[in-house]
């Protein structure tokens, strides 16, 4: 069994088994040896199997809750045999237990359901298909959860517990109302209900971890809500690791994973990331992800320091699908070859980006557009960065980016001042750098807030410093910015204003009024090592990706980071990351070139691998380089070192190429 200090396996499966009680012959064809052989052929070394599913069914011979055992479970020791055969062949088998979604419990114990401030049941209405009615873990349901978890831990040799659906959900049940009153909160206020819900779910995690530890001192523990963010920082001690559920073809999309992983990897726990074998999302039976997409998703996990996990669903008969595991095995066989250059690797970064999630919230279905925009720009330009919150250690970064809506209270301001005094630089945009009341900027910004910009759209005029390679003419800024007045700041680019704002009284043409040519107010300013953009440039880039918006930001970044960790001449569709294996004294560069395309109304897909040739790379070195090698192929590349950088050319990037720099 594993403990929190043990490394997670690289090649995992999450084997959903949400099986209706109306389906007969459940697990009738389960063959332990065939099960294990299929996994071994697919190079799988960990598989999460089910104790209790969202239907509320148990998949083992429960003595304490026999009424919950699936009524058509023909192999009543299914979970036990999955664990035993896995361990026989060195395959880890964590156990899945659902928490807030359980159709059987919701039906039999409606008094345990979460209700909103209007007294309505949360989740699936009674006459709709689905098991999404939310159970409240502040009710006696928690006692049942503990009893069922205890039975699993006593019956089986458990490697880990995956508690699923552990979310912050507003609740006004009698238990939560009593708890709110006791805590001095007002149950009649939605904000107080949400505040209490967060406190309650945090308490639940700590309580359940303590309970599990009283029975098993070593097994892994994870609580899944489909997202990992700043809210998990304060309960990180309740987890042994993080699992990032992020199926790009589900509602998460292809930007969720890199954003969340760049944050989660800073919290000190090992991470594994869920994608799926499904063409769309969970429960998409008899569908197959394009191999090229599965490659990109798994190789991106390696590049961003995560272990790999592919979601599948066991069919009711208990047989794994051979074609599915041929697909998974085709990718996992390559992952296995790459692992030696990924074990214990940590990201090398020089930029820290603060997430708006800490201030405005986020979820698996909603990521703030500001963080999406800045992530796109930095990935497209090959920069190396982490995503941070106000509690993060800032000592390893040269530049901090505060995108659009990062307000700064006094304790955060002290931290940023210390960063600046130690030689760091800050780039901020729009409302970032303002106090929480949004009335004043940090003094270090050298700015005075006038108010919202009086015109929108308005037009940024490039200078020889900002937008230096753009035509020296107006460039439209679609989203309204702020009007600021320099106090100790230098204006790097100005804003021209239109003849008038578009209204019913006066308008021009189809969209917006053209520039009058008159300078209205500053657009980009610099005060010492702080550069400020008056517009919400990152939300703008997420909305419609104006190339000039990316260019002016990169010009500012170049001013404060003239020697970035990595440069390359590849296309903006290439993702590039740099990691370090400290114990082996080597750096590993990952180059990925896969292009998600919106070929359907609902999802992005990856169909093709388009190779790149002769990609020139320059990396800021950290000493004398002994060799530069394509791995795992073992092909040495010619290189040279000059001016503190190592330069080489990668002859071919076909999907994913790793380069080892041995020091």
SS (H, E, C) 165-227: CCCCCCCCCHHHHHHHHHCCCCCCCHHHHHHHHHHHHHHHHHHHHHHHHHHCCCCEEEEECCC
Residue pair 588/648 in contact by the 8 Å Cβ criterion = no
A 10 A CB-CB count for 285 gives 9
pLDDT reported for residue 351: 98
Q: Given pLDDT bands bounded at 50, 70 and 90, which one contains residue 420?
A: very high
Alpha carbon distance, N-terminus to C-terminus of the chain: 35
447: β partners: 486
pLDDT tens for each residue of 281-336: 999 999 999 999 999 999 999 999 999 999 999 999 999 999 999 999 999 999 99
The token duo for 639 is 């290189």
- The mean per-residue pLDDT over the stretch 58-87 comes to 98
Who has greater pLDDT, 415 or 125? 415
Residue pair 587/578 in contact by the 8 Å Cβ criterion = yes
pLDDT tens for each residue of 43-52: 999 999 999 9
pLDDT tens for each residue of 376-411: 999 999 999 999 999 999 999 999 999 999 999 999
Q: What is the residue whose two structure tokens read 């294996």?
A: 581
Residue pair 280/250 in contact by the 8 Å Cβ criterion = yes
Q: How far apart are CA 231 and CA 228, in angstroms?
A: 8
Please report the DSSP string for 353-419 in residue order.
EE-THHHH--BTTB--HHHHHHHHHHHHTT--EEEE-TTS--TT-SEEEE-S-----HHHHHHHHHH
pLDDT reported for residue 494: 98
Q: How far apart are CA 87 and CA 102, in angstroms?
A: 29
A 10 A CB-CB count for 615 gives 21
Residue pair 243/273 in contact by the 8 Å Cβ criterion = yes
Q: How far apart are CA 47 and CA 310, in angstroms?
A: 9
Chain centre to alpha carbon of residue 502: 39
Q: How far apart are CA 264 and CA 271, in angstroms?
A: 8
pLDDT reported for residue 306: 98
Residue pair 375/263 in contact by the 8 Å Cβ criterion = no
Residue pair 425/400 in contact by the 8 Å Cβ criterion = yes
Q: How far apart are CA 304 and CA 99, in angstroms?
A: 30
Residue pair 536/523 in contact by the 8 Å Cβ criterion = no
pLDDT tens for each residue of 446-486: 999 999 999 999 999 999 999 999 999 999 999 999 999 99
Neighbouring C-alpha atoms within 13 Å toward the C-beta of 317: 4
For 211, counting Cβ atoms within 10 Å of its Cβ (0-12 exposed, 13-18 middle, 19+ buried), the class is middle
**Is residue 162's pLDDT more than 50?**
yes
Neighbouring C-alpha atoms within 13 Å toward the C-beta of 85: 19
User: Rounded to the nearest 5 degrees, what angle is found at the Cα of 217, between the Cα atoms of 214 and 221?
Assistant: 95
Residue pair 444/392 in contact by the 8 Å Cβ criterion = no
Q: 268: left (phi > 0), else alpha (psi -120 to 50), else beta?
A: left
Torsion of CA 598, 603, 604, 607, to 10 degrees: -100
Q: How far apart are CA 50 and CA 234, in angstroms?
A: 28
Residue pair 122/114 in contact by the 8 Å Cβ criterion = yes
Helices 547-560 and 369-380, packing angle to 10 deg = 70
pLDDT reported for residue 7: 79
pLDDT reported for residue 27: 98
Look over the chain and give the mean of its residue pLDDT values, rounded to a whole number.
96
Q: pTM for the full model? A: 0.96
**Is residue 2's pLDDT more than 60?**
no
Residue pair 193/176 in contact by the 8 Å Cβ criterion = yes
For 547, counting Cβ atoms within 10 Å of its Cβ (0-12 exposed, 13-18 middle, 19+ buried), the class is exposed
pLDDT reported for residue 3: 39
Who has greater pLDDT, 25 or 122? 25
Q: What is the residue whose two structure tokens read 């009674």?
A: 126
Whole-number CA gyration radius for the chain? 27
pLDDT reported for residue 5: 47
**Is residue 501's pLDDT more than 50?**
yes
pLDDT reported for residue 4: 41
Residue pair 294/274 in contact by the 8 Å Cβ criterion = no
**Is residue 427's pLDDT more than 80?**
yes
- The mean per-residue pLDDT over the stretch 236-263 comes to 96
Q: How far apart are CA 496 and CA 457, in angstroms?
A: 10
Measure Cα distances from 551 to 381, 442, 548, 660 in Å. Answer: 10, 26, 5, 31
With a pLDDT cut of 70, the percent of the chain lying above it is 99
Q: Given pLDDT bands bounded at 50, 70 and 90, which one contains residue 205?
A: very high
Q: What is the residue whose two structure tokens read 């939560």?
A: 176
Residue pair 78/27 in contact by the 8 Å Cβ criterion = yes
Nearest to 363 by CA among 236, 228, 243: 228
- The mean per-residue pLDDT over the stretch 251-265 comes to 97
The pairing of beta strand 447-452 with beta strand 399-402: unpaired
pLDDT tens for each residue of 517-564: 999 999 999 999 999 999 999 999 999 999 999 999 999 999 999 999
């Amino acid at each position: 069994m594993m403990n929190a200090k043990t490394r997670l396996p690289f090649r995992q499966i999450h084997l959903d088994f949400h099986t209706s009680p109306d389906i007969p012959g459940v697990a009738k064809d389960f063959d332990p040896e065939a099960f294990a052989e299929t996994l071994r052929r697919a190079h799988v070394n960990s598989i999460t199997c089910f104790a209790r599913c969202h239907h509320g069914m148990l998949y083992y011979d429960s003595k304490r809750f026999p009424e919950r055992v699936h009524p058509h479970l023909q192999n009543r020791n299914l979970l036990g045999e999955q664990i035993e055969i896995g361990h026989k062949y060195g395959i880890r088998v964590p156990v899945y237990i659902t928490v807030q979604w359980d159709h059987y419990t919701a039906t039999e114990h409606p008094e345990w359901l979460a209700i909103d401030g209007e007294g309505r049941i949360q989740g699936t209405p009674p006459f709709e298909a689905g098991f999404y009615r939310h159970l409240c873990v502040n009710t006696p349901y928690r006692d049942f959860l503990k009893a069922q978890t205890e039975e699993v831990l006593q019956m089986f040799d458990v490697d880990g517990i995956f508690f699923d659906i552990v979310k912050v959900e507003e609740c006004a049940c009698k238990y939560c109302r009593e708890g709110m009153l006791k805590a001095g909160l007002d149950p009649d206020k939605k904000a107080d209900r949400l505040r209490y819900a967060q406190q309650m779910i945090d308490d639940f995690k700590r309580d359940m971890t303590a309970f599990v530890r009283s029975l098993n001192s070593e097994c892994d523990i994870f609580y899944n809500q489909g997202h990992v963010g700043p809210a998990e920082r304060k309960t990180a001690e309740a987890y042994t690791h993080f699992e990032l559920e992020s199926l790009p073809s589900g509602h998460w999309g292809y930007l969720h994973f890199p954003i969340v992983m760049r944050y989660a990897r800073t919290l000190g726990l090992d991470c594994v990331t869920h994608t799926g074998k499904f063409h769309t999302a969970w429960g998409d039976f008899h569908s197959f992800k394009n191999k090229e997409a599965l490659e990109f998703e798994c190789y991106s996990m390696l590049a961003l320091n995560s272990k790999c996990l592919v979601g599948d669903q066991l069919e009711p008969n208990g047989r794994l699908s051979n074609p599915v595991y041929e697909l998974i095995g085709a990718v996992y066989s390559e992952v296995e070859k790459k692992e030696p250059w990924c074990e214990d690797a940590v990201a090398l970064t020089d930029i820290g980006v603060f997430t708006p999630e800490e201030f405005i919230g986020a979820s698996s279905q909603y990521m703030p557009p500001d963080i999406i925009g800045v992530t796109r720009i930095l990935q497209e330009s090959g920069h190396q960065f982490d995503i941070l919150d106000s509690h993060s250690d800032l000592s390893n970064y040269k530049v901090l980016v505060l995108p659009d809506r990062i307000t700064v209270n006094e304790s955060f301001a002290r931290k940023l001042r210390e960063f600046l005094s130690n030689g760091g630089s800050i780039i901020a945009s729009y409302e970032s750098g303002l106090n929480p009341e949004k009335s004043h900027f940090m003094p270090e910004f050298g700015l005075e807030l006038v108010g919202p910009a009086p015109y929108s759209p308005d037009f940024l005029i490039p200078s020889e410093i900002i937008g230096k390679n753009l035509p020296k003419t107006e460039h439209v800024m679609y989203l309204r910015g702020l009007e600021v007045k320099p106090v100790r700041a230098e204006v790097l680019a100005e804003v021209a204003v239109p003849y008038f704002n578009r209204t019913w009284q006066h308008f021009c043409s189809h969209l917006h009024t053209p520039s009058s040519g008159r300078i209205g107010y500053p657009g980009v300013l610099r005060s010492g090592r702080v550069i400020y953009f008056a517009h919400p440039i990152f939300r703008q880039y997420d909305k419609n990706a104006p190339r000039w918006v990316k260019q002016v930001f990169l010009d500012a970044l170049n001013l404060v980071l003239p020697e970035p960790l990595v440069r390359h001449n590849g296309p903006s569709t290439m993702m590039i990351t740099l990691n370090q294996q400290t114990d082996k004294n080597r750096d590993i560069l990952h180059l990925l070139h896969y292009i998600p395309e919106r070929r359907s109304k609902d999802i992005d897909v990856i169909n093709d691998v388009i190779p790149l040739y002769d990609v020139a790379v320059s990396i800021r070195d950290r000493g004398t380089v002994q060799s530069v090698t394509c791995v795992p192929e073992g092909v040495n590349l010619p290189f040279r070192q000059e001016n503190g950088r190592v330069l080489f050319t990668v002859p071919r990037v076909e999907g994913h190429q790793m380069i080892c720099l041995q020091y």
